[in-house]
Structure 1
Amino acid sequence: MTTQSEPADDRFDPGLSAIASERRQLINLAYRLLGSLADAEDVVQETYARWYAMSPRQQQAIESPGGWLTRVAGRICLDLLGSARARRETYVGEWIPEPLPDRTEWINARPGGPTPDPADRVTLDESVNMAFLVVLESMTPAERVAFILHDVFRYPFNEVAEIVGRTPAACRQLASSARRRIRDAQPPATPATRHAIVREFKRAWEAKDIDALVALLDPHATATSDGGGLVNAMLHPIVGGELIAHHTLEITARVPDMTILERTVNGQPGLVAQRDGVTVTVMAFDIAGDRIRHIWAVRNPDKLRPWMAEQ
């Protein structure tokens, strides 16, 4: 960001403080639209750079600075979503949205912990769980922007239209189409069930209990790994509960010194694998009824930056 307000400046320039206070909202919006914290940070940086590139007279003429920042960030995200599709077509292996930790699980318990980063400013709710983000990936850029702005952030369609470059009626149709995609996804399990099943999966994995693992997995379950081109990453999803169970135990055989920890991943129960105290894999789960129907394992080091603070 070209110009940053410091706490001392806020006493003299309330307007500057108000602009800076929009940062959390912008990070939340951009992460949901892009599925990448790094890209979200870049979007917010560029948004603020455009604000500070204007003259004071131009800034003062803007009736709602927060609305202006949101519109600019939304348009940048829309452009990035189009180019991201092209980039991900050449991505080695499967592309999975970047997983986010619940930082309170360790930082609040550690005095003198690391300085909070943008991950701390993302509100973890149903709109950032991994299953939801994966469904968003199947949408067109315009659908995704219209849906997130209206259904998640409650922007009226006339304002969404300014960002998407469509009529309010067209944006209403885009959001409706996106909503159908979300509804078609099977409803998630209850929070209590999620915790219990993920915990049982961890125990069965550690005990090398193949029968218990198979019983926890839907027969048609899918496991997807994102290694960002790592040689030992899965290039294609594994389909079938038994195949996933056997693959899980093969990992243990190859990496016997791995430690499995229960952690919150994008607001849902998940698992983190560590070697020598270093996070090497973050796993998110989609659970329907009492079975795991999808596992996403992120191994791309670039996507594990927010998890390194735990070490």
Structure 2
Amino acid sequence: MVPSGADAAAREFERHRSVLFTLVYELLGSAADADDVVQETWLRRQRVTGPVEHERALLCRIATRVALNAMRAQARRREDYVGPWLPEPIAVSPDVLDDVVLAESVSQATLAVLETLSPEERAAFVLTEVFGSTAAEAGEALERSEASVRQLAHRARDRLREGRPHRRAGATPEVWHAFTSAIRAGDLAATTALLTGDSVLVSDGGGKVSSARRPVLGAENIARFLLGLATQHPDISIDLVPVNGEHALLVREDGAVSLVLFLETGDGGIRTVRIMRNPEKLGRLEKPVAIAR
């Protein structure tokens, strides 16, 4: 039996689901919101009539437009967010780390810089630089001219270079070993020495759990904060696992994930520490999420 057009479209949608999720996740920084947008993409795809020449391009165009609307609604919600907002972390399979472009694009450091862009700049960059869309294809999604898309993507690339001058800025295994050893030993001097003088720590508790509601600045202040956190939670287990295309420290208490910690390095040591403690954002860390580009 020849499959119907609806059946073929459904198969194509499932084939591209991980691509759509990754695209939207990079735009929104939220796995939960990305799931909603992907579902809405399928509902809108079902309303498309007539032949479709490039299914992936159509789905990405629909997903981008839905995501842009979601980004504007998301910005309004964040006005009431308690403390710093960080992207929702997601566990990924180890092979993601081998795809340099994909791993960098979903890293916490990159997502943090993308958050500083306008919705259109972010979409233009992600579509053209990560997913290989042409300026014309991205223009259809953004309802912009090719020249406008190129300008948006150029501004985004400049901002990425300013905000993240070091590619692959995740910590090496040696840095992670020194970092965890110093904190376990309660060694203030050793912890401080690993951090740059202008380092910053950002913690997202969302008002649900105790966390720093403002960034912690300076090596010694951060070291004291981390050692204090370790003292308050002595009965924990820690694992270094692939999260967001880089290695991160997964901390469990009583068998449940209580936080995930990321390190971003630069010249002279650790320049940024990001800690996710909001329990509403810790649900995608036990099982790898399928991502693709």
Q: 1:124 to 1:190 in 2, by over 3 A?
A: closer
2:143 maps to what in 1? 165
**Superposition deviation, residue 66 in structure 1:** 2.1
2:180 maps to what in 1? 202
Structure 2 segments unaligned to the other structure (5+ residues): 96-100, 289-293
Residues 1-311 of structure 1 aligned to structure 2 (within 5 Å): 13-54=7-48, 58=49, 60-103=50-93, 125-188=103-166, 194-309=172-287
TM-score using structure 2 length: 0.88
Structure 1 segments unaligned to the other structure (5+ residues): 1-8, 106-122
| Residue identity matched to 2:144 | R
1:93-150 deviations in Å (ceiling 9; x for gaps): 1100011223459xxxxxxxxxxxxxxxxx9511111110000000000100011101
C-alpha contact (below 8 Å) 2:94/2:242 kept by paired residues: no
Q: Matched residues, percent identical?
A: 36
Task: Give the Cα separation in 2 of the matches to 1:239 and 1:15.
Answer: 51
TM-score using structure 1 length: 0.84
Task: Give the Cα separation in 2 of the matches to 1:47 and 1:244.
Answer: 42
Instruction: State how many pairs are aligned.
Output: 280
More contact order relative to length (CA 8 Å, sep ≥ 6): 2
Task: Give the Cα separation in 1 of the matches to 2:64 and 2:228.
Answer: 43
| Residue identity matched to 1:66 | R
SS in 2 for 1:250: helix
Q: 1:221 to 1:87 in 2, by over 3 A?
A: same
Task: Give the Cα separation in 1 of the matches to 2:15 and 2:195.
Answer: 44
**Superposition deviation, residue 87 in structure 1:** 1.5
SS in 2 for 1:306: coil
**Superposition deviation, residue 190 in structure 1:** 6.0
